[in-house]
């Protein structure tokens, strides 16, 4: 009886302390899980029997949004075309054209059991013809949802913001207008991808576009607008998710944009500091670790990687040919990343390019430890890495996942197959790794 009581207590304790992964890249956008994850698996049926796959369940539609987790539930968004399977073109190419995909779509939110993959509920936020087009490599549902354990927020760009209870009850919705996302000076549209951030009952949305960009804070309980900051000086669209960082006696919203990177006070929206941006199509999310804010972008020629001091103020742009300033601890002008958000694990910062070139730095000083190509250079890398148990996971667009050992020297532990295109950043919870692929959600565990 004592053994049974102990087992029950441990089970209840485990359930109560389930690892949450509440947003894009998990808690505080760090991308690091405390529980060790599997090093090897196979989810590709053409490459032998499945190995270390807990489940692989179909997900309707086409989306690059990441799964998020609260307790025993996984939350996903998707866009389901009523014209049949939507086309997706991945790889290393520079075509700026929009996809021919403007038929009626249903924007949906799904909840799954994280242990079995069973769909517990599905809600349709809106069914309509898209107000804007998407890129051939993008989708109509790129933004990941976010939760604080009380409500679930989903952002579908021009189709609006939607809030639900965690059991699927609609709470509120808000139309933020029609966005014109893409490269300024061109007619093509690429779709939105910045995910909502949620902190202190405030939903923060970075709404950058060709003209009329803004940053807005909404009351998470009812959708009421709390403040809005004009960012009309932003001349290109940004696909970066804002980071909320609480340190140095203040809570700030850090945004990766072009032609400037900027931080704002969470309570009021007042600008705190600004830094000239060199990459013209920012995607990676700012990351905070070791008392520094790491920000990178790499399109349009330059590829900077900055380490910003969180107590910075005013214009902190380094002088010409300088690699630091009053607000910048260090910078690398040519070693940033275009698509992937960097990951800090231990004392090292891992930054991987969209061509699979991994560069590993000392996070405090910027000293480069090593450079290594992942793969053969023939596939893109868009999914941001995650880490757990001293291991890092980098997925190519073709669904090859490279597992590396943490450390200042390169050590490849395994290359595993997902069996499908993989564009979304994975989630992790209680020792299980969850990858959203082209048509499935794959749960991986020893």
Q: Is the pTM of this model over 0.85?
A: yes
* Domain spanning 20-444, CATH class: mainly beta
Q: Are 341 and 356 in contact (CB under 8 A)?
A: no
E strand segments, 175-213: 197-199, 202-207
Separation between Cα atoms, residue 425 and residue 382, nearest integer Å:
8
Buried b (16+ CB within 10 A) or exposed e, 45-76: eeeeeeebbbbbbebbbbbbbbbbbbbebbbb
What pLDDT was estimated at residue 2? Answer: 56
Q: What tens-digit pLDDT sequence spans the chain (446 residues)?
A: 555 554 444 444 444 479 999 999 999 999 999 999 999 999 999 999 999 999 999 999 999 999 999 999 999 999 999 999 999 999 999 888 899 888 999 999 999 999 999 999 999 999 999 999 999 999 999 999 999 999 999 999 999 999 999 999 999 999 999 998 877 778 888 999 999 999 999 999 999 998 899 999 999 999 999 999 999 998 777 899 999 999 989 999 999 999 999 999 999 999 999 999 887 889 999 999 999 999 999 887 788 999 999 999 999 999 998 999 999 999 998 878 999 999 999 999 999 999 999 999 999 999 999 999 999 999 999 999 999 999 999 999 999 999 999 999 999 999 999 999 999 999 999 999 999 999 999 999 99
99, 201, 222, 300, 370 from 226: Cα distances, Å: 35, 11, 11, 35, 45
Separation between Cα atoms, residue 327 and residue 291, nearest integer Å:
12
Separation between Cα atoms, residue 422 and residue 437, nearest integer Å:
5
- Half-sphere CA count of 413, side-chain side, radius 13 A: 17
Q: Are 287 and 293 in contact (CB under 8 A)?
A: yes
What pLDDT was estimated at residue 242? Answer: 97
Measured between its terminal Cα atoms, the distance across the chain in Å is: 30
What pLDDT was estimated at residue 237? Answer: 74
Judged by DSSP in three states, 289 sits in strand
């Amino acid at each position: 009886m004592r053994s049974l009581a102990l087992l029950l207590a441990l089970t209840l304790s485990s359930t109560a302390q389930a690892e949450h992964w509440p947003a894009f890249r998990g808690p505080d956008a760090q991308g690091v899980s405390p529980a060790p994850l599997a090093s090897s698996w196979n989810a590709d049926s053409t490459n032998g029997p499945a190995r270390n796959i807990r489940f692989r369940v179909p997900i309707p539609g086409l989306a690059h949004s990441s799964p998020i987790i609260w307790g025993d539930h996984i939350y996903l968004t998707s866009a389901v075309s009523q014209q049949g399977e939507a086309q997706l073109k991945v790889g290393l190419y520079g075509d700026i054209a929009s996809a021919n995909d403007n038929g009626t779509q249903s924007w949906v939110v799904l909840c799954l059991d994280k242990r079995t993959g069973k769909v517990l509920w599905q809600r349709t936020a809106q069914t309509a013809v898209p107000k804007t087009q998407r890129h051939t490599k993008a989708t109509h549902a790129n933004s990941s949802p976010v939760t604080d354990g009380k409500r679930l927020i989903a952002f579908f760009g021009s189709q609006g913001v939607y809030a639900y209870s965690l059991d699927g009850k609609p709470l509120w919705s808000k139309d933020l207008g029609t966005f014109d996302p893409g490269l300024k000076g061109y007619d093509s549209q690429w779709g939105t991808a910045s995910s909502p951030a949620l902190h202190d009952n405030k939903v923060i949305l970075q709404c950058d576009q060709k003209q009329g960009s803004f940053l807005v804070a909404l009351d998470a309980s009812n959708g009421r607008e709390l403040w809005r900051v004009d960012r009309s000086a932003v001349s290109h669209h940004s696909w970066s998710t804002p980071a909320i960082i609480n340190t140095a006696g203040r809570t700030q919203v850090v945004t990766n944009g072009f032609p400037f990177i900027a931080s704002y006070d969470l309570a009021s929206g007042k600008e705190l500091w600004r830094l000239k941006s060199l990459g013209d199509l920012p995607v990676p999310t700012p990351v905070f670790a070791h008392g520094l804010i790491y920000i990178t972008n790499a399109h349009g020629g330059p590829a900077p990687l900055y380490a910003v001091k969180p107590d910075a103020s005013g214009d902190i742009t380094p002088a010409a040919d300088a690699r630091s300033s009053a607000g910048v601890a260090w910078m690398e002008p040519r070693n940033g990343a275009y698509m992937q958000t960097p990951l800090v694990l231990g004392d090292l910062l891992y930054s991987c390019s969209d061509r699979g070139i991994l560069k590993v730095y000392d996070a405090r000083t910027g000293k480069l430890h090593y450079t290594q190509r992942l793969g053969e250079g023939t596939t893109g890398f868009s999914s941001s890495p995650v880490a757990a148990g001293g291991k890092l996971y980098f997925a190519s667009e073709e669904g090859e996942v490279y597992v590396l050992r943490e450390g200042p020297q390169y050590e490849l532990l395994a290359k595993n197959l997902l069996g499908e295109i993989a564009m979304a950043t994975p989630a992790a919870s209680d020792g299980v790794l969850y990858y959203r692929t082209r048509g499935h959600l794959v749960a991986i565990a020893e």
